[in-house]
Chain A
Amino acid sequence: MKLFPGKPLAGLALLSLLVMLSGFAGAADKPLLMEGKKSLYQRVLSVPEARLFETPAASENSSEIIPFSVLYVYEKDDDWLKVGYDSFGGIAGWVKSDKAIAWNQALTVSFKDPQDTQRVMMFNNRESLEKLVNDYDRAGYQALYEAVVNDRPPQDSPVIAIQPEAHLEIRDNFYLVPIKQHEDVYLGNEQARLLKIASVPLDDAGDAAALKNAGSGNRSYRSGIHFVIDSTQSMGPYIDRTREAVAKVYSAIERQGLTNQVSFGLTAYRDNLEQVPELEYLTRRFVSLQQGTNFEQFFEGVNSLSPSQVSSRDFREDAYAGIRSAIEDSDWEQFDARYVVLITDAGPRESYDSLGATRLSAQALRQLAYDRGVSIWVLHLRTPSVAADHETAESLYKQLSYFPGIGDFYYGVRLGEVDEFGNVLEVLANQITQQVLATTNGVPPLPLPQRGGGQTQLAQLQDRVAKLGNALRMRYIQKESGQPLPSVFDAWMVDRDFQNPERSAVDVRVLLTRDQLSDLKNVMQQVLELAEEGVLSPQNFIDDLKSLAATVSRDPSAVAGSTSGAGTNLADMGYMREYIEDLPYTGEVMNLTLQSWEEWSAKVQIEFMHRLESKINYYQALHDHTDLWVTPGGGPVTGNSVFPVALDLLP
């Protein structure tokens, strides 16, 4: 069983708020306050089967509520809730209380890319997970994980669901996994949280159907491989061998009936033309991916490619310019698996190199590729030139070709041997073709066996190619399959990667209203102004901060008694806001103690101030961008409109 974190929620959650009925005009009531709060109202989320009624009685006159809509509670009895989309008295109607989830803190989870961390397992009871966490039983957790991932969970498995293998990007497809409860724990030596969430499962039948449907769908799985070749003077033999390798792969593609499903493109690059104008071009595209679906068109394009007749300036060429061109100038949309393969015997021009055209670092270029779903592979020809700095180049190319969760896609061709280069190229291209064939034939991505050490460089690279291929195929299968409307269940999870607890497995966000953000900005602005004064003239800072606390506190009478000790932090002094005080996160501003401030050097004080100012700037910018805010129930942006703010952006 896999977790389906909110496809219906999706688009549903925030987006749904925009399209909901405006509700009935009601009396200017106020929603019910949360227990112990002075300004925070009770909120619920509707579940997928929830309906809205005009009166607290089941009748045929009801309307559907889009799942996981945020609703304020105005009145409640044992079975019914009177709800509205805002806190200003606009009543939408009545909903059955068992069709709504209490969601007062408005916390939600967004999953990290499972390429970077282990997929998150959901437990059907708290005790099972808590025991693993308290014992920090990594072996037990891993055994359970492998059983679940391989669809062989034990009969009494406490795991009710697992994060999907394919990554759902919250920016592209907003989903809600509401947090109903949280608790601080230690996972090994790291602080972590147990989260009780509400979400929706994708059952096993749905899984099987997904694969079948994807395999028989109208759109076939396609791979695009764009070669980026160094075409400077020394590259003649490798250009010829690339042509030969691609010709063989085309022949195999045709035999397997995969024409149009694997395509090749080619961009050549040289170096800075201002230094050596005779190089003729910095980058030139010889074949596009669209042209490269056809054998004849590919060779028509690349036959005109030849190495430069003149030498370039040094033993670095502008490989990044070639790669960027291949990434940005290609139409990748129609390809499910996207590869850029760099072939070069020289090092690249990094961001600090004034002769480089891109001024990009290896990491920045890798991110550019990653954002477009492209993986970069490097075949580095380590020719025995005395001028070459192969170690530096290798380090940069490994950074460039690193794919999160899998590793780098670098292959160093010893002594630049042409035969070895050609062999590697053919092996990799054929491996990609086999993945296309397997997907087309409906063969599921199979778990990869764990291999021991001592593998050859090529075998290690092939393993990574296989892992990447599996991930890409899973993404395709999920995309192409339909998803059934799920029902809601409760589950427990831990917010850290169990095997590497220093890494977060999820982001926790809180839905804040625009008024709340405005209040937060105003209070923090005043703290910043005091801090600026305190950095220049520390004498009065502590007293000023205490005075300000009395004016901004929600409970001034409590401030006097809480600001006496130097160990008191800003939260205790009265700066904490009601809407963030119970969240499972306290930022460095609220945690700041007067004692710490006094002990800090000027540099540390200034750095703190800058971080605070950056958050204030973010609040202001967010507040001013009305297009980012969603108004529950639709209508213009008001103080009641909401936005999901990541907890680590809170003060």
Chain B
Amino acid sequence: MSEMNEPGSTPRRNPLIWIALAVAGLVLFVFLNGDRGSSVRVVKTPETSEAVGSVERSLLVPPGMRARQYLEQLRAKGKPYPLQEVFDKAQKYLQEGSLADAHLLYFFGAREDYLPSIMVMGEMADPTLFRAEDSLLDHADVIQAYKWYQKAAEMGQQTAAERLENLQRWAIAEAEFGNPEARQLLLNFK
């Protein structure tokens, strides 16, 4: 599944989109007319956006913007962050196809050492598990996968340790065919 508004992506279309676009246009028109002097940067809060519907919201808000606004709010409140809530929100974004928002929230959780987020980051980049429809990025990235699995394994996550072994096996096989990423990864295992 592709991210809406990303270059080269193909937005999903359904008959309701035209109705939604009309509603969005109306909202935009009223909004801009009500404050002519303000910037055209129309950024709705996640809450108000929900009322409009997912399709038109995606057309108004750049990919990742909602996650960034949410993180800004979290950081304003300070630590400890509700990492389970962040993870759940990421899952929700993923399900609705907002891949940039989902990616940023998983990434945030992973940097804050939240194990489920770390594992998702690893799996999204794992060449043996990569699914383009669930990933913001177009390709697997074995160095990223290694980094996150390594971090999870150091935190005692057994599955991550097994995934690392799996990555090593993958790299040994791929390196024989001249895959430069695989060769680089093997340097990390030696």
Contacts and interface: CB of A to CB of B under 8 A. Distances in A.
Contacts of A537: 68, 71-72, 75
Given A364-B177, A371-B177, A610 B144 contact: yes
Interface stretch (A289-297, A402-410, A613-621): A613-621
Q: How large is the interface on B (under 10, 10 to 19, 20 to 34, 35 or more residues)?
A: 20 to 34
A624 B144 CA distance: 19
A185 interface: no
Given A603-B136, A614-B141, A371 B107 contact: no
Contacts of A613: 143-144, 147
B147 A603 contact: no
Contacts of B63: 601-603
Interface string A612-637: 01100110011011000000000000
B188 interface: yes
A603 B100 contact: yes
A412 B172 CA distance: 35
A476 to B, nearest CB: 23
A368 B177 contact: yes
Interface in B1-15: 3, 5-7
A371 B174 CA distance: 13
Contacts of B143: 610, 613-614, 617
A225 B25 CA distance: 70
A532 interface: yes
Contacts of B108: 536
A606 interface: yes
Interface string B144-186: 1001000000000000000000000000001011110100100
Contacts of A603: 3, 6, 63-64, 100, 136-137
Contacts of B68: 536-538, 602
Given A371-B176, A603-B3, A625-B187, A535 B62 contact: no
Contacts of B144: 610, 613
A602 B141 CA distance: 17
B107 A535 contact: yes
A371 B6 CA distance: 39
B92 interface: no
A470 to B, nearest CB: 24
Contacts of B44: none
Interface string A584-621: 00000000000000000111001100100110011001
B177 A367 contact: yes
Interface string B98-121: 001001100110010000000000
Contacts of A606: 103, 107, 136-137
Contact of A614 (B103, B179, B184): B184
B108 to A, nearest CB: 6
Contacts of A367: 177-178
Nearest to B100: A602
B75 A622 contact: no
Contacts of B177: 360, 363-365, 367-368, 371
Contacts of B176: 368, 371
Contacts of B147: 613, 617
B190 interface: yes
Interface of A: 360, 363-365, 367-368, 371, 532, 535-539, 601-603, 606-607, 610, 613-614, 617-618, 621-622, 624-625
8 contacts: A364-B177, A536-B104, A539-B72, A601-B63, A601-B100, A603-B3, A607-B137, A622-B187
Interface of B: 3, 5-7, 62-64, 68, 71-72, 75, 100, 103-104, 107-108, 111, 136-137, 141, 143-144, 147, 174, 176-179, 181, 184, 187-188, 190
Given A367-B177, A536-B71, A537-B72, 10 more contacts: A364-B177, A364-B179, A539-B72, A601-B7, A606-B103, A607-B137, A617-B184, A618-B187, A621-B188, A624-B187
